[in-house]
């Protein structure tokens, strides 16, 4: 018997995603991004994102169906990001998913965006061993999660106390005159830079906690660049990008490996947009190999927001017989990471 076909809908930020998954098989991943509309503001403008979702939602679902070569009536279950994220943006996806579920008379799962960033790895690397450690690094979140069970038990160990890792990338990019969103541009610029040029601070590394802090690092980069400019010297963008990226990758990978050791966990999953970063991926691979930890990182296109990750979590919930959400569930911009499935 073939596994159920699950449609996943993602609208928590600036990506309208519609994905189709059967079991652990990815069939389609359609994405429409409004990022270009936010670029001149240097950050995502919530109202602009919501309106873009409204326009892109149905075409994205239609595109996913066409990619997979299936019809809407073939869909067996629907999953949607219920939170966390931008309230107005989430609302578009949640309303669309409810409409599809009602029209098709199929079960609906309102799921947690962060758990979906972890679940997507199953599409590439198979079932997630339990327990696993998850490092989630995106524009809105930096979290270390102990995952004894992706569906029933996600334990937050630490999170950022100020800027998220992606936010730091985006802000430092602005300081360096690179476009928004800064992560991919810093990654590219850093490729030809010297990561040892500036020893930027590794904040919150030595306190023993699993929390992160990136605002001091961001300020240190800004001060360094200002001092250069004040001295009339050119700013070595590639070197600063590489040195900054190194500081972020160093702290993230050390904390993740330390957390694995402390909790006796030998599988680490990294997810979220910043997991697309080439230096983070390389350093994580190096340090996990040295520590005997199996590293799992989805391919970059599945690290940034997409509908397939939501479908992947929906498929897992459906396969485990989880009770679907009721049609009355709200979009929750502050949905706690411990709530994998909303009622």
Which residue ranges make up the site for Zn ion (CB under 5 A)? 138, 305
Site for ligand KG4 in 189-218 (CB under 6 A): none
The CA dihedral of 60, 62, 68, 69, to the nearest 10 degrees, is -160
Residue 326 C-beta: closest distance to ligand KG4, Å: 26
Name which position in 304, 325, 339, 342 contacts ligand KG4 (CB under 6 A): 304
The residue with tokens 């524009």 is: 139
Residue 121 C-beta: closest distance to ligand KG4, Å: 14
Name which position in 276, 288, 340, 341 contacts ligand KG4 (CB under 6 A): 276
182 binds ligand KG4 (CB under 6 A): yes
Give the integer Cα–Cα distance in Å for 291 and 268. Answer: 11
Segment interacting with ligand KG4 (CB under 6 A) among 191-199, 227-235, 269-277, 321-329: 269-277
Closest CA to 111 of 22, 7, 14, 15: 7
Give the integer Cα–Cα distance in Å for 139 and 264. Answer: 29
Residue 113 C-beta: closest distance to Zn ion, Å: 6
138 binds ligand KG4 (CB under 6 A): yes
Residue 304 C-beta: closest distance to ligand KG4, Å: 4
Beta bridge partners of 83: 112
User: In angstroms, what CA-CA distances link 108 with 43, 117, 247?
Assistant: 32, 19, 41
State which residue, 75 or 176, has the beta carbon closest to ligand KG4.
176
Residue 13 C-beta: closest distance to Zn ion, Å: 7
State which residue, 22 or 174, has the beta carbon closest to ligand KG4.
174
- Residue 214 interacting entry, from ligand KG4, Zn ion, none, C-beta within 5 to 8 Å by type: none
SS3 label, residue 153: strand
184 binds ligand KG4 (CB under 6 A): yes
Residue 137 C-beta: closest distance to ligand KG4, Å: 8
Residue 305 C-beta: closest distance to ligand KG4, Å: 4
Cβ burial of 2 (10 Å; 0-12, 13-18, 19+) is: exposed
* Structure token digits, residue 238: 């590639």
With contact defined as beta carbons under 8 Å apart, do 97 and 128 qualify? Answer: no
State which residue, 31 or 341, has the beta carbon closest to ligand KG4.
31
State which residue, 121 or 305, has the beta carbon closest to ligand KG4.
305
- Residue 182 interacting entry, from ligand KG4, Zn ion, none, C-beta within 5 to 8 Å by type: ligand KG4
169 binds ligand KG4 (CB under 6 A): yes
Element (H, E) at 1: none
Residue 140 C-beta: closest distance to Zn ion, Å: 7
With contact defined as beta carbons under 8 Å apart, do 193 and 243 qualify? Answer: yes
State which residue, 15 or 246, has the beta carbon closest to Zn ion.
15
Which residues are CB-neighbours of 67 under 8 A, at least 6 positions away?
20, 27, 28, 29, 30
Site for ligand KG4 in 50-69 (CB under 6 A): none
Pairing of β 142-149 and β 153-159: antiparallel
Name which position in 246, 305, 316, 332 contacts ligand KG4 (CB under 6 A): 305
User: In angstroms, what CA-CA distances link 244 with 38, 39, 171, 233?
Assistant: 24, 22, 11, 19
Provide the binding-site residues for ligand KG4, judged by CB under 6 A: 13, 138-140, 166, 169-170, 181-184, 187, 272-274, 276-277, 304-305
């Amino acid at each position: 018997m073939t596994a159920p076909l699950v449609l996943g809908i993602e609208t928590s930020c600036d990506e309208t995603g519609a994905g189709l998954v059967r079991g652990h098989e990815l069939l389609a991943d359609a994405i429409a991004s409004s990022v270009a509309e936010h670029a001149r503001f240097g950050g995502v403008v919530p109202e602009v994102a919501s309106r873009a979702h409204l326009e892109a939602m149905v075409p994205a679902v239609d595109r996913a169906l066409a990619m997979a070569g299936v019809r809407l009536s073939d869909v067996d279950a629907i999953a949607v990001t219920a939170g966390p994220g931008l309230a107005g943006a989430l609302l578009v996806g949640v309303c669309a998913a409810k409409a599809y579920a009602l029209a098709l008379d199929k079960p609906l799962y309102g799921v947690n965006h962060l758990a979906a960033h972890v679940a997507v790895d199953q599409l590439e690397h198979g079932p997630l061993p339990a327990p696993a450690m998850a490092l989630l690094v995106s524009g809105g979140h930096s979290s270390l999660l102990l995952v004894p069970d992706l569906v029933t038990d996600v334990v937050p160990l630490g999170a950022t106390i100020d800027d998220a890792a992606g936010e730091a990338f985006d802000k430092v990019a602005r300081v360096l005159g690179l476009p928004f969103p800064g992560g991919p541009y810093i990654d590219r610029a850093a490729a030809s830079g010297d990561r040892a040029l500036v020893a930027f601070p590794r904040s919150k590394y030595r306190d023993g906690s699993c929390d992160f802090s990136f605002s001091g690092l961001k300020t240190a980069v800004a001060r360094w660049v200002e001092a250069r400019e004040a001295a009339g010297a050119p700013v070595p963008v590639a070197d600063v990008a590489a040195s900054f990226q190194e500081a972020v990758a160093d702290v993230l990978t050390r904390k993740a490996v330390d957390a694995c050791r402390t909790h006796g966990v030998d599988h680490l999953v990294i997810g979220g947009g910043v997991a697309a970063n080439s230096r983070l991926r390389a350093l994580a691979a190096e340090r996990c190999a040295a520590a005997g930890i199996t590293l799992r990182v989805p391919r970059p296109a599945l690290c940034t927001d997409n509908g397939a990750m939501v479908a992947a979590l929906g498929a897992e919930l459906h396969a485990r017989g989880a009770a679907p959400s009721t049609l009355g569930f709200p979009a929750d911009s502050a949905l706690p990471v411990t709530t994998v499935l909303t009622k």
